[in-house]
Amino acid sequence: RQNIWENKILITSRFGSLLLVGIGSSTKSRPTSTPGTNSGNHNKMAPLSLSKFAVASLVVCSFAQLGVDGLLTNPIGVNTAKEGGAPRAFISRDIKTPDPVPEAGQELALDLMKTGRMYRYNVPNAESSIVSQCEKDIADYTGHKYCVALNSCGSAIMLMMKTTGLKPGGLVLSNAFTFGAVPSAIEHAGGKAVYVESDYNHVMDVDDLEKKLTMYPEATHVLVSHMRGKVGDMDAIADACKRHDVVLLEDCAHSLGVEWQGKHTGHMGGVSAVSSQSYKMINSGEGGFLLTDDPDIAAQTAVYAGAYEALAGKHMTVPGPEAFKDYPTTIPNYSLRMSGLAAAVIKPQILTLDERAEKYNKRYKKLTAEIEMRVGDHLSIPVNTPGVTRPVHDSLQFNLGRHFTEEMIQDFLDECSSHGLPVELFGHKTNARNFVNWGFAPAEDPLPLTAEMLTHACDVRMPLMWDDEDFDTMCDVICESLEAVISKTK
C-alpha cells in the first residue's frame, strides 16, 4: 500500500458512453521492471487504495453494464432503417415501460419502511393502516361496498369462486380467450374449466354461452374475463346466468376504469376482482382486490386472506363482527394479504386513474383512426360492445385479414420486430393467452371461432410514459410492415 499507482479506469457502457473514475494517485515511486530481467513483478499491478466513492462507482458501473436493459426504460436505438433506399420508421423506446410510482407513493413506502410496519395488521387500528386506506379508496372508486386487498388478482379470482360455493370438481364456464392465470385460478379453487367461444371483438360469445349452459346444466359458475379491457354484452350474459341459475363472476383485472351502462365494471355479478400487476392501470408489481356488495363473501375473503382471530377489526371495508360467524375457526388462512408496501405505492395512483384513462383513450382514438385509414383493408380493430359507456384503451389489438397466411403473419411480426416494435400474436404456440397452452386445464370441446381469431389477433402495448409522437412512429411501423408484407405477394 506504500506505492500506489495513479490509476484511471475507463468503463465503456453498452451505448458508447465513457465514464472516467479516478481511483487514486501518488507521487511516490512506481514499481518498474528492468528490460531483460525476470523480476516476477512486471505483470502485476500494485495494490489499490479505493475510496468508498470509487468502489460504489465501480459497482454502479458494473450493474449498468450487466443489467442496463432492466434499468433503462428508454434505451437508445437508431431512428431509421434503410431498405431499398427508402427510410423506414423505427421504434427506439422500450415497449415494456411500466407506469412509474408517483413520488407520493415512493415517500409513503419509504416512511413505512422506516417504521418497519409493513405487515398490514401491525397497526393500532383500521384507520391507521395504509392497506385499509387503499381498500377504501378502491371501493369508493369502483362503487363497491366491500373490498379486500390481496397479494395478486389470481388470488382474488380464486377466492371469488371459493366464497360463492364452488365445490370440488364444479364446472366453471369462462372465456376461451383470456390469460392463463384465469383457468389457473379455477384449478386452484378446485373447479373444472369449460370454455366459451370468444369472437373477433375479443369478448365472450353470448350464443356459445347459451349453448354451453344448456350442454352443461350442472355448471354452477360463469367467470367472465374482460380481457384487455374489452367487455362483452353483460346484460345478455347476466340474463343467461339468471335463467340457468348460475353465479356470475367478473374478472376485471384489465378493466379498472371501464364502465358498463354508467357503472364501473364488476357490478353485474355478485363479486369481481381487479389487479395491480405491473402492466395494469395501477402498478405495485403484484397485487389484487376482491370487490363485492355481499357481506358474507367479504367476511369469508378476509378470513381466507389471513384475518385470523379478531384482525378483521383492522379493516375499514368489511362487514361487522356478526358477518364473520365462526369463519376464523372453520375457514383456512391462506395468507394472501397485501403488504403495506404494495398499498403505499398504489394509493396515490388511484387519484390519477381518470386522468390517465383519458390520455390513453385520446391516443388510442388517433392511432386506430390512422391505422384504419392507411391499412384498413388488411386488418380489423375490435369494436366496443354497445353498453360500454367508458372504455380504457391502454393497449392496441387488431385482427389481421383472413387473407393473411401463416407465413405472411410471421413475416409481419418479423418486420415489426426488426423495426423496434414487438407485436405479439395471441395465437402463437408459446403465448399464455392461447388456450392450447393450458395443459393443466385443457379444452374438451372444439373452439373453432376462438382458434381462428387467435391465429390473426395481434397485441401491442401503449406505454403511458411514451410521448405522443412515439405513437405516430408506432403507427408508421405497423402500416409500413403490413405494406412490406403485401408488396411481397404481388
Q: Which of 378, 397, 363, 380 is nearest to 481 (CA)?
A: 378
Amino acid at 378: H
Distance in angstroms (rounded) separating the CA atoms of residues 158 and 151: 12
Neighbours of 394 (CB within 10 A): 25
Which run of H or of E encompasses 132? helix 130-142
Q: CA dist 113 to 109, 342, 356, 453, Å? A: 6, 12, 28, 47
In three-state form (DSSP H/G/I as H, E/B as E, the rest C), the secondary structure along 61-125 is HHHHHHHHHHHCCCCCCCCEEEECCEEEECCCCCCCCCCCCCHHHHHHHHHHHHHCCCCCCCCCC
pTM (two decimals) = 0.83
Q: Which three cell numbers stand for residue 27?
A: 507521487
Distance in angstroms (rounded) separating the CA atoms of residues 297 and 165: 10
Q: Which of 268, 250, 248 is nearest to 260 (CA)?
A: 268
> Strand 288-292 relative to strand 146-150: parallel, antiparallel, unpaired?
antiparallel
Question: In this predicted structure, which of 69-73, 189-193, 388-392 has the lowest mean pLDDT?
Answer: 69-73
pLDDT at 207 over 90: yes
Distance in angstroms (rounded) separating the CA atoms of residues 226 and 236: 15
How large is the average pLDDT for residues 405-425? Answer: 98
Rg (CA), the chain: 28
Q: Which of 170, 215, 218 is nearest to 197 (CA)?
A: 215
CB 473 within 8 A of CB 89: yes
Neighbours of 5 (CB within 10 A): 16
Mention every residue, 6+ apart, whose C-beta is less than 8 A from residue 228: 202, 254, 395, 397, 459
Q: Which three cell numbers stand for residue 288?
A: 389484487
Angle at 35 between CA 32 and CA 36, to 5 degrees: 130
How large is the average pLDDT for residues 353-373? Answer: 98
pLDDT at 246 over 50: yes
pLDDT in tens, 455-476: 999 999 999 999 999 999 999 9
How large is the average pLDDT for residues 251-269? Answer: 98
Distance in angstroms (rounded) separating the CA atoms of residues 247 and 239: 11
Mention every residue, 6+ apart, whose C-beta is less than 8 A from residue 290: 147, 148, 150, 156, 159, 160, 271, 272, 273, 297, 298, 301
Mention every residue, 6+ apart, whose C-beta is less than 8 A from residue 416: 422, 423, 477, 478, 481
Place of cell 400487476: 277
pLDDT in tens, 263-322: 999 999 999 999 999 889 999 999 999 999 999 999 999 999 999 999 999 999 999 999
Amino acid at 412: F
Question: In this predicted structure, which of 21-25, 55-59, 184-188, 366-370 has the lowest mean pLDDT?
Answer: 21-25
Report the side by side order of strands in the sheet with 259-260.
263-264, 259-260, 388-390
Residues in the chain: 490
pLDDT in tens, 35-92: 333 333 333 333 334 444 443 443 333 434 433 333 333 343 434 444 555 799 999 9
CB 224 within 8 A of CB 174: yes
How far is it between the farthest Cα atoms of the chain?
A: 98
Mention every residue, 6+ apart, whose C-beta is less than 8 A from residue 340: 112, 117, 118, 119, 120, 129, 130, 131
How large is the average pLDDT for residues 407-417? Answer: 98
> Strand 247-251 relative to strand 271-275: parallel, antiparallel, unpaired?
parallel
Distance in angstroms (rounded) separating the CA atoms of residues 346 and 322: 30
- List beta partners, residue 337: 150
| Mean pLDDT score across all residues of the chain | 87
Q: Terminus-to-terminus CA distance in the chain, angstroms?
A: 74
> What is the number of alpha carbons within 13 Å of residue 370 lying toward its C-beta?
17
